[in-house]
């Protein structure tokens, strides 16, 4: 009989049917993955910090000279489309709560990305409950859409599981629990365990995932290549390593996709100290037709076509086949648009409303008639930080200062309270104001708002 490894400790509360997910097999796989990959994950995060220091000191991103042979080799291809992933023209992303799971699988979409990242909140009950919902869905013969799981990014931790007295990687936790509970069910349905990998910043981080795939397949007795993964190009460093990322994942690859808000947040994060050259206009003015976004999606489509891989990105068919240069990927200053008081207020209001919902356990929220997730809040607070710390003036000449931002926070909070009426949660909005102020006004730029937010969550 398999037992839970002695070096694994569950600190989260028990819940109904949690034992179906937190099985000895699942925790054993997680422990094995941690034993092989935990130190490499920490090194990957350290590499991010080193690159950030170089960029902050004036370095510029470019295509890697040491991997030119991979880009120039026309002979290699990614894996062919896996069963259930041949047609991805209608694909939705949504959290794996019970109600959304039912709706997503019967929506008519060909693919549902069950999201444990941007549209979810990492409450313990959400993470384990989501795994239970996927397990249950795969036991239903009427399941229609192909399920793709989006685990949390490499930078996040799962504080409710300790391995060797250290917090588990959230990425490996989501991956291991799903593989143990649902991988064989997917194979029995003629498909497989499919994933979407968020916020990669290099091909070495993709290699880390590929090694996790190999280890998990061997551990569970699945043929190599059963797992397939779409890599999200939603950070500016990854845009310079698309070929390399596909190459690392090639036997497990399901192509590339991109996302506007995360990508724009990454630009601010990486070039936050570089002044006017990298100042973005207010977010609602930035579309996929902006020069830098056209360059990113154009390169993504070119790369995927060359490697026989899926490219999933809105508006991709509009882009020419011309060679994309590093200068075009970095043409941030050519982005049309203005910075107005209305844009500043919108970022503050959206940030506050979303953070209050997130801290309350809801990661996908309708705000002013538009769907918002963590990426929305991330770009909103990042822009406020960028405008403040780079001494930007609004269209009317008003300087963006900490005093102005704090004044607008108070004013927007009053508007939110008036609209919410009796539904206004004083405690949650108190936390939201404190958190937004921390991630938008601090002298140093917090890399991801979800990191300090997670510490405020039970």
> Same structural domain for residues 304 and 357?
no
Q: What is the mean pLDDT of residues 143-155?
A: 93
Q: What is the pLDDT of residue 89?
A: 87
Main-chain phi, psi angles of 150, to 5 degrees? -110, 100
Residue 326 near residue 393, CB atoms below 8 Å: no
Q: Six-digit token pair at 118?
A: 């941007």
Mind listing the pLDDT tens digit for each residue in 296-352? 999 999 999 999 999 988 654 545 557 899 999 999 999 999 999 999 999 999 999
Active site residue 346: no
Mind listing the pLDDT tens digit for each residue in 36-46? 999 999 999 99
Percent of the chain residues topping a pLDDT of 70:
97
Contacts of residue 1, defined as CB under 8 A and 6 or more positions apart, other chains included, come to: none
Domain boundary residue among 283, 311, 334? 334
Q: What is the mean pLDDT of residues 88-113?
A: 92
Residue of 48, 123, 373, 381 marked catalytic: 373
Q: What is the mean pLDDT of residues 366-385?
A: 95
> Same structural domain for residues 441 and 325?
no
In a domain, 38, yes or no: yes
In a domain, 376, yes or no: yes
> Same structural domain for residues 281 and 374?
no
In a domain, 2, yes or no: no
In a domain, 207, yes or no: yes
> Same structural domain for residues 183 and 50?
yes
| C-alpha dihedral sign at 266, 272, 277, 278 | positive
Percent of the chain residues topping a pLDDT of 90:
91
Mean pLDDT (the chain, rounded)? 95
> Same structural domain for residues 96 and 122?
yes
pLDDT higher than 80, residue 33: yes
CA dihedral 97, 18, 21, 41 (to 10 degrees): 80
pLDDT higher than 70, residue 76: yes
Domain boundary residue among 300, 334, 368? 334
> Same structural domain for residues 78 and 102?
yes
Q: Which residues are 147's β-sheet partners?
A: 112
> Same structural domain for residues 154 and 211?
yes
Helix and strand counts by DSSP (H, E) for the chain: 16, 12
> Same structural domain for residues 365 and 306?
no
Q: Six-digit token pair at 428?
A: 């949650």
In a domain, 1, yes or no: no
Task: Read off the CATH number of the domain in which 441 is found.
Answer: 1.20.1220.12
Question: Where residue 140 falls among pLDDT bands split at 50, 70, 90?
Answer: confident
In a domain, 369, yes or no: yes
Q: What is the pLDDT of residue 4?
A: 85
> Same structural domain for residues 255 and 135?
yes
pLDDT higher than 70, residue 98: yes
In a domain, 378, yes or no: yes
> Same structural domain for residues 293 and 389?
no
Residue of 41, 88, 123, 150 marked catalytic: 150
Mind listing the pLDDT tens digit for each residue in 384-409? 999 999 999 999 999 999 999 999 99
Q: What is the pLDDT of residue 189?
A: 93
Q: Six-digit token pair at 27?
A: 């925790």
Task: Read off the CATH number of the domain in which 245 is found.
Answer: 3.20.20.360
pLDDT higher than 60, residue 16: yes
Domain boundary residue among 334, 364, 394? 334
Would you give the DSSP letter of residue 146? E
257-272 as b/e: b if 16+ CB within 10 A: bbbbbbbbbbbbbbbb
Q: Six-digit token pair at 328?
A: 């075009």
Q: What is the mean pLDDT of residues 176-201?
A: 97
In a domain, 3, yes or no: no
Residue 288 near residue 294, CB atoms below 8 Å: yes
Computed over its alpha carbons, how large is the radius of gyration of the chain? 22
Q: What is the pLDDT of residue 143?
A: 64
Domain hosting residue 404, numbered range: 341-455
Q: What is the mean pLDDT of residues 23-29?
A: 97
Q: How many domains does the chain have?
A: 2
Residue 104 near residue 114, CB atoms below 8 Å: yes
pLDDT higher than 50, residue 28: yes
Q: What is the pLDDT of residue 316?
A: 47
Active site residue 403: no
Q: How far is CA 30 from CA 45, 156, 304, in A?
A: 19, 15, 32
Q: What is the mean pLDDT of residues 411-429?
A: 96
* First-residue to last-residue Cα distance in the chain: 33
pTM over 0.85: yes
> Same structural domain for residues 372 and 302?
no
Contacts of residue 108, defined as CB under 8 A and 6 or more positions apart, other chains included, come to: 90, 144
> Same structural domain for residues 225 and 361?
no
């Amino acid at each position: 009989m398999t037992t839970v490894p002695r070096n694994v400790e569950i600190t989260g509360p028990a819940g109904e049917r949690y034992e179906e997910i937190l099985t000895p097999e699942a925790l054993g796989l997680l422990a094995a993955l941690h034993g092989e990959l935990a130190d490499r994950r920490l090194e990957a995060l350290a590499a991010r910090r080193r690159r950030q220091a170089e960029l902050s000191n004036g370095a510029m991103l470019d295509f890697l000279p040491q991997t030119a042979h991979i880009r120039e080799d026309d002979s290699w291809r990614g894996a062919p489309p896996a069963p259930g992933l041949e047609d991805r023209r209608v694909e939705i992303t949504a959290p794996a709560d019970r109600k959304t799971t039912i709706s997503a699988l019967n929506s008519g979409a060909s693919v549902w990305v069950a999201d444990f990242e941007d549209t979810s909140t990492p409450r313990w009950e959400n993470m384990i409950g989501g795994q239970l919902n996927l397990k249950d869905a795969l036991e239903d013969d009427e399941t229609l859409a192909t399920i793709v799981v989006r685990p949390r990014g490499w930078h996040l931790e799962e504080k409710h599981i300790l391995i060797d007295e250290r917090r588990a990687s959230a990425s490996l936790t989501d991956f291991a629990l799903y593989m143990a509970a649902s991988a064989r069910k997917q194979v029995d349905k003629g498909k497989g365990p499919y994933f979407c990998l968020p916020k990669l910043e290099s091909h070495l981080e993709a290699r880390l995932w590929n090694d996790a795939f190999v280890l998990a397949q061997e551990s569970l007795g699945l043929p190599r290549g059963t797992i397939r993964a779409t890599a999200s190009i939603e950070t500016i460093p990854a845009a310079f390593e698309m070929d390399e990322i596909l190459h690392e994942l090639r036997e497990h690859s399901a192509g590339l996709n991109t996302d506007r808000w995360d990508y724009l947040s990454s630009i601010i994060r990486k070039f936050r100290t570089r002044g006017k050259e990298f100042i973005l206009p207010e977010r609602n003015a930035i579309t996929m037709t902006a020069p830098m976004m056209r360059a990113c999606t154009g390169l993504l489509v070119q790369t995927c076509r060359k490697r026989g891989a899926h490219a999933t990105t809105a508006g991709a068919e509009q882009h020419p086949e011309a060679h994309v240069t590093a200068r075009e990927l970095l043409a941030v200053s050519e982005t049309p648009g203005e910075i107005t008081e209305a844009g500043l207020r919108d970022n503050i209001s959206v940030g506050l409303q979303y953070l209050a919902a997130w801290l309350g356990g809801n990661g996908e929220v309708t705000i002013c008639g538009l769907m918002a997730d963590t990426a929305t809040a991330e770009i909103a607070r990042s822009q406020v930080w960028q405008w403040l710390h780079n001494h930007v003036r609004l269209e009317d000449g008003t300087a963006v200062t900490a005093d102005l931002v704090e004044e607008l926070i108070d004013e927007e909070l009053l508007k939110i309270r008036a609209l919410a009426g009796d539904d206004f949660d004083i405690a949650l909005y108190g936390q939201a104001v404190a958190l937004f102020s921390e991630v938008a006004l601090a002298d140093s730029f917090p890399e991801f708002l979800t990191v300090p937010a997670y510490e405020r969550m039970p």
